[in-house]
């Protein structure tokens, strides 16, 4: 990436949870287990959605994209985090920090757009059921997925170039467990006003606007569901949307807390745990939320396991 500040020293020190050493071994064990669950759960969704023809629907197409995204997102952060938790060495190379920042931010931004696209899919399924298959045709699905992925990494490219052009302080001690933008801005020695303003604009575009569109979609969905005369129809409609809504609340709730809350010593420590939640915990919960609440997927999973064991 042309323009990056390659004159910087060898790397950074990720302080992470080093001020709470008694917590590090506990986190090492818990995060290791969660990471394995994340890998297994999201891989299962991708595999079963691909192998079962009945799941070749727009909802599972986007869910498979979300699962693949979560696999990549957690893998961009967790292995480095586990390495730093297991010993006194808390460093990451300069190039490693750039790559982690670029990939994690790109995937995080992509997820914001993808969850919005999934809300649009649910809106069409509930509010326009007779035209759903015509509207959500395969070409549109691919286009919407491409918009989510390209849009996320356009944002990431811009932010990466801007952040790593900053003049950084000599200590290079990043008060976080990953190369997160707010923590990197804090160790800049120059004027960061432009970058902070740009980050605020990016937060509006990739967090506030998508959240608003999702809420608008669900407002229309609730209105349509309440007009249904069938109780079974209402239950089924809320069931198909409930999983997505839970994921939206978990993901956007923690991101808003990290990027919009006022900054202080207390909130920085608080932010680490919130960041840990949306980078580690949420990707492991997504498969459980979608599969445990979805009878169609549970049926496909049982069929797959029965065929595999026979």
Q: What is the pLDDT of residues 174-219, one digit of tens each?
A: 888 889 888 888 888 878 888 888 888 998 999 999 999 999 999 9
Over residues 154-183, mean pLDDT: 86
Q: Which CATH class is domain 11-309?
A: mainly alpha
Reported confidence tier of residue 234, pLDDT bands at 50, 70, 90 = confident
Share of the chain above pLDDT 70, in %: 91
Instruction: Look up tokens 């986007």; give the residue.
Output: 62
Going by C-alpha positions, the residue among 26, 277, 15, 230 that lies closest to residue 129 is 230
Residue with more model confidence, 72 or 170: 72
Check pLDDT > 70 for residue 109.
Answer: yes
90-108: average pLDDT: 93
| Mean pLDDT computed over every residue of the chain | 85
Give 308's pLDDT tier (boundaries 50, 70, 90).
low
Q: How confident is the model at residue 244 (pLDDT cuts 50, 70, 90)?
A: confident
Domain extents for the chain? 11-309
**Residue 262 pLDDT:** 53
Residue with the larger pLDDT of the pair 290 and 165: 165
pLDDT of 72 above 90: yes
CA-CA-CA-CA torsion sign (44, 50, 51, 55): positive
Q: Provide the pLDDT for residue 5.
A: 45
Tell whether the model's pLDDT for residue 299 goes beyond 80: no
In this predicted structure, which of 55-69, 131-145, 194-208, 258-272 has the lowest mean pLDDT? Answer: 258-272
Q: What is the pLDDT of residue 268?
A: 61
Checking if the pLDDT of 261 tops 70, the result is no
Query: Which pLDDT value is given to residue 34?
Result: 94
pLDDT at res. 238: 75
Instruction: Give me the pLDDT at residue 6, please.
Output: 40
pLDDT grade for 132, boundaries at 50, 70 and 90: very high
């Amino acid at each position: 990436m042309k323009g990056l500040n390659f004159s910087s020293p060898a790397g950074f020190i990720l302080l992470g949870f080093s001020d709470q050493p008694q917590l590090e071994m506990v986190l090492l064990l818990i995060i290791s287990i969660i990471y394995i669950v994340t890998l297994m759960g999201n891989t299962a969704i991708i595999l079963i959605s691909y192998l079962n023809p009945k799941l070749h629907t727009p909802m599972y197409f986007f869910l498979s994209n979300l699962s693949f995204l979560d696999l990549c997102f957690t893998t961009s952060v967790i292995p480095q985090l586990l390495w730093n938790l297991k010993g006194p060495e808390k460093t990451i190379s300069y190039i490693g920090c750039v790559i982690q920042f670029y990939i994690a931010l790109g995937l995080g931004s992509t997820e914001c757009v993808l969850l919005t696209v999934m809300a649009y899919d649910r809106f069409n399924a509930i509010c326009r059921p007779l035209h759903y298959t015509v509207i959500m045709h395969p070409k549109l699905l691919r286009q919407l997925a491409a918009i989510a992925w390209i849009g996320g990494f356009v944002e990431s490219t811009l932010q990466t170039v801007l952040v790593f052009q900053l003049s950084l302080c000599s200590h290079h001690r990043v008060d976080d467990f990953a190369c997160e933008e707010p923590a990197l801005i804090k160790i800049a020695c120059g004027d960061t006003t432009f970058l902070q303003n740009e980050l605020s604009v990016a937060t509006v575009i990739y967090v506030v606007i998508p959240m608003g569109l999702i809420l608008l979609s669900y407002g229309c969905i609730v209105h349509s569901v309440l007009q249904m005369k069938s109780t079974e129809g209402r239950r089924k409609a809320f069931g198909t949307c409930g999983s997505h809504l839970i994921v939206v609340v978990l993901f956007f709730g923690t991101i808003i807390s990290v990027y919009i809350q006022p900054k202080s010593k207390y909130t920085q420590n608080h932010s680490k745990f919130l960041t840990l939640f949306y980078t580690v915990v949420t990707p492991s919960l997504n498969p459980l939320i979608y599969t445990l609440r979805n009878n169609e997927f549970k049926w496909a999973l049982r069929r797959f396991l029965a065929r595999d064991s026979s």
